[in-house]
Amino acid sequence: MEFEAFTASELAAYLGAIPEIRALLGEPHDLEVAEVGDGNLNYVYFVTNTKAPERSVVVKQAPPFLRLVGKTWPLSCQRMEHEVAALRRFGALCPRHVPKVYHADSKRFLMVMQRLASHRILRQGLMDGVVYPKLAAHLSTYLAQTLFHGSDLFLAPDIKKEAMSAAVNSELCKITEDLVFTFPFEDHPSNVYSAALPASSLERLRTSEALRIAAGDMKWAFMNHAETLLHGDLHTGSIMVNEDETFVIDPEFSFYGPIGFDIGAVLANLLLAYFSRDWHGRIDDRDPSGYQEWLLVQVAEVWNGFSAQFLKLWREHESRGERGFIGGHAEARSVEGYRTHFMRRLLADTLGFAGCKMIRRIVGMAKVADITRIPDAQARARIEVRCLRCAEDLLVKRATLGSIEQVVMLAREVQRETITHA
Amino acid sequence: MEFEAFTASELAAYLGAIPEIRALLGEPHDLEVAEVGDGNLNYVYFVTNTKAPERSVVVKQAPPFLRLVGKTWPLSCQRMEHEVAALRRFGALCPRHVPKVYHADSKRFLMVMQRLASHRILRQGLMDGVVYPKLAAHLSTYLAQTLFHGSDLFLAPDIKKEAMSAAVNSELCKITEDLVFTFPFEDHPSNVYSAALPASSLERLRTSEALRIAAGDMKWAFMNHAETLLHGDLHTGSIMVNEDETFVIDPEFSFYGPIGFDIGAVLANLLLAYFSRDWHGRIDDRDPSGYQEWLLVQVAEVWNGFSAQFLKLWREHESRGERGFIGGHAEARSVEGYRTHFMRRLLADTLGFAGCKMIRRIVGMAKVADITRIPDAQARARIEVRCLRCAEDLLVKRATLGSIEQVVMLAREVQRETITHA
């Protein structure tokens, strides 16, 4: 059967026929349907009772192709089942930061979920210079809760292997393997380069051995290191916020992968916001530096908050059990030494993934508005070059950047440097 | 149904009822059945036609418990299906070094396979000081063929993920996780220490932070790095040899794990043979040093032969495709740089796993005859201390030992050191 997107009245009728949803939303003839999908993959609708606008849900439907490209890039619709399973798992682990799923229909490749009506996409908020006082605390909690509880540090090994096997997501992983880890490092036809981006910056991606080896390591880790259940696409467009609340949405890329991948995605997008602030923050002759500093504080607090909570969960879990991961009692000195070592390796992984994520947003097919909404081609290219420089350093120096504070210093240095175009 | 091992006549009758096996072996009343299992897990029989002894097969049956311990350590019988699948896969990749499977019966947890009548277990041959001129070439070919073709360097990513998922082997992996990576590093009741082993050597396993962190890294890699389909238990008791041929048997621990694990197991067992030769090679006042040198040459040749063949397979595969693993054409300079980097990381992994494997054979439950057949308690302890020292160095220095030649030098140094007992 050919996939047809719902018309507004078809969707209202469909929802009216599901008792739980009808109870939530009211009568079909009172419903207003608005197509709001700006994603690359799916159709997304807000469905609202016009007589009682607080009665509202989100409906998400997965067409059997990559929406960004069209029917020439087919995708299996199973990704909706995948996303539902991930939302339910993450929701159980971290209910404060994951929207509720009210209904899932695997035949229609569709789900009905909590409407976050007073929240906006974090990327938009950051472009507008909004300060979210609880953002870092919320994101670090979400990351620690989800990433710890899917790993061998928490799950029994058989349960973890079963979860890993159930979460295999070859098709969407392939998109990441290609678009994040491979195509940006070659002259691929799907790449999109902004007009003024200097050739020397592109050239480095294809010739710098240290950079290419580092990116190869991250690709290998992405494809092989089945450490925990990841969100898999945790950029600032997958986060909805207001002053008080933070929700992580859209985990359709979810799979068992390296712990650092989700954290790296968050840090990469904060750093893209930081460098692009040099444009957005100067509109009307304002000074970008204050908000830029706030963004760097978020970088540090997301990692430090994550790290502290992850370690706390790990210590508490082992103190309840009979032994630590490395054998022996949970309190042994080397058990804590192993934890320190583990977190340092995890930071290195995180920075490597952050670097790859930044690079793909500059030279790859799928851009971010932080960058593309800079109308001045020269200013945009200057910012893109800084993003690429920072990304390269994150990748190449990931094992020697021993703390997130050094990452913050690195970002400041890259920002300060005078960029001369080749 | 309670598991009952076959009697000889029951097994002969069972085999006679399978047409292909009857064609191979002849009439049931001509068959002689000998139980020969000396393994920790299974029942193994040689079934031979007494009138034509060249007509002979091996029958292997998996009881629903760990044979070494008994019915108090239950195991699922699915491990036989697992082993059959692995034998068939490895046999397709490397037919010269993997025995043929003639028949598999998943209801009886049983398989019938090629009899290697003129071959013996490699461990026995090494204890007797036999030189196998083709051993290193054969083992390195087996390792390169099986480990390369299961990995993302060869398989399409969806095929690889499917194979990984099908090869999940939680129960037998748990045995390795516990017996190789955890129990040896604590005072576990299943550990077995030889009488004269100095307390200081045991103490290091429980207190040396660098050693325990390294072992923790290897455990994490074992549990998470799903790089290729492994044999999973490739010690010298899983290898059958004669002067001309080498076969790898018993892949029931097979699963998707780190590429270095199988190679590390081979090197560990060659090093255990090397150190224990200091006893076996002195019987009747002989000089052990010649055979010890041959063993070290095997260590170097197994790695170097593996590495050369693995790289050759990789280069040939990429030159046939449109791009290298890291993007760009297969001939780009950094593509070869990535390969060098990859092999160096793989050597580090290999050495770390070799270290863990050596340690478990000295302090863990499952010993090796190379060590246990040394009747002189002091001599045995001296050799055990050397094995532990070498293993610790392999683990702690695995990233800085940049070549297998340095590993060989390390082994010689450990052998030369005067051991003073604490």
DSSP string, B161-176: HHHHHHT--HHHHHHH
Using the Cβ of A224 and the Cβ atoms of chain B, whether some distance falls under 8 Å is answered with yes
Between chains, do B171 and A177 touch, taking CB under 8 Å as contact? no
pLDDT attached to residue A376: 96
Q: Which of A1-5, B191-195, B208-212, B308-312 has the lowest mean pLDDT?
A: A1-5
Residue A92 parent element (H or E)? helix A79-93
Model confidence at A350, in pLDDT bands (50, 70, 90)? very high
From chain B, pick out residues whose CB is under 8 angstroms from the CB of A177: 157
Q: How confident is the model at residue A38 (pLDDT cuts 50, 70, 90)?
A: low
| pLDDT confidence of residue B331 | 67
Of the candidate ranges A6-20, A27-41, A122-136, B294-308, the one whose mean pLDDT is the lowest: A27-41
Distance CA A32, CA A26 (A): 11
Identify the pLDDT of residue B42.
Answer: 84
Q: Does B78 touch chain A (CB under 8 A)?
A: no
- Per-residue confidence (pLDDT) for residue B2, from 0 to 100: 61
For chain B, the average pLDDT equals: 94
B121-149 mean pLDDT: 98
Which helix (DSSP H) or strand (DSSP E) does residue A72 occupy? strand A70-74
A219 touches chain B (CB under 8 A): yes
Assign B62 a pLDDT band (cuts: 50, 70, 90). Answer: confident
pLDDT at A282 over 90: yes
Mean pLDDT of A236-265: 97
**Quick one: pLDDT band at residue B38, thresholds 50, 70, 90?**
low
Tell me whether residues B226 and A224 touch, CB distance under 8 A: yes
pLDDT in tens, A391-411: 999 999 999 999 999 999 999
Is the pLDDT reported for residue B404 higher than 50? Answer: yes
Question: Please, what is the average pLDDT of chain A?
Answer: 94
- The answer to whether B360 contacts chain A (CB < 8 Å) is no
Which of A338, A343, A360, A363 would you mutate first to test chain B, the one with the most B CBs within 10 A? A338
% of residues, chain A, pLDDT over 70: 96
Q: What is the pTM of this model?
A: 0.95
- Label residue B71 by pLDDT band (50, 70, 90): confident
- Run of H or E including B101: strand B101-105
Q: Which residues of A touch B227 (CB under 8 A)?
A: 224
B403 three-class SS: coil
Query: Do A170 and B185 lie within an 8 Å CB cutoff?
Result: no
Across the interface, whether the CB atoms of B212 and A162 are under 8 A apart is answered no
Confidence of residue B214 (pLDDT cuts 50, 70, 90): very high
Say yes or no for a CB contact (<8 Å) between B174 and A152.
Answer: no
Chain A residues inside the 8 Å CB shell of B224: 152, 225-227
3-state helix, strand, coil in chain B (%, to 5): 55, 10, 35
CB atoms closer than 10 angstroms to residue B402: 12
How much is the pLDDT for B332?
73
- Put simply, the answer to whether B182 touches A338 (Cβ < 8 Å) is no
Interface residue A95 vs chain B (CB under 8 A): no
Lowest mean pLDDT among B10-19, B36-45, B84-93: B36-45
B323·A182 Cβ contact <8 A? yes
Across A99-103, A116-120, A416-420, least confident range: A416-420
Nearest CB partner across the interface for A327, out of B164, B185, B327: B185
A371 sits in which H/E element? helix A369-372
Q: Which of A128-137, A298-307, A345-354, B58-67 has the lowest mean pLDDT?
A: B58-67
For B186, the closest of A164, A181, A327 (CB atoms) is A327
What is the share, in percent, of chain B residues with pLDDT greater than 90?
86
Tell me how close the Cα of B191 comes to any Cα of chain A, in angstroms.
13
Q: State the complex-level ipTM.
A: 0.95
Q: Does B158 touch chain A (CB under 8 A)?
A: yes
Please name the residues in contact with B382: beta carbons below 8 A apart, sequence gap of 6 or more: B278, B419, B421
pLDDT of residue B32: 95
Q: Over 50: is that where the pLDDT of B421 sits?
A: no
Residue A354 has pLDDT above 50, yes or no: yes
- By the CB < 8 Å criterion, does A193 face chain B? no
Kindly state whether A152 is in contact with chain B, defined as any CB-CB distance less than 8 angstroms. Answer: yes
pLDDT-based confidence at A39, cuts 50/70/90? Answer: low
Residue A33 tokens read as 């349907």
Element at B264 (helix H, strand E): helix B260-280
Query: Is the pLDDT score of B418 beyond 70?
Result: no
State the DSSP code for B7. Answer: P
Q: Do B323 and A161 touch (CB under 8 A)?
A: no
Q: So what's the pLDDT on residue B266?
A: 98
- The better pLDDT of the pair A109, A138 is held by A138
Q: Where are the beta strands (DSSP E) in A168-311?
A: 228-230, 239-241, 246-248, 255-257
Predicted confidence band of residue B330 (pLDDT cuts 50, 70, 90): low
B325 CB neighbours in chain A (<8 A) are 216, 219-220
pLDDT of residue B70: 73
pLDDT grade for A332, boundaries at 50, 70 and 90: confident
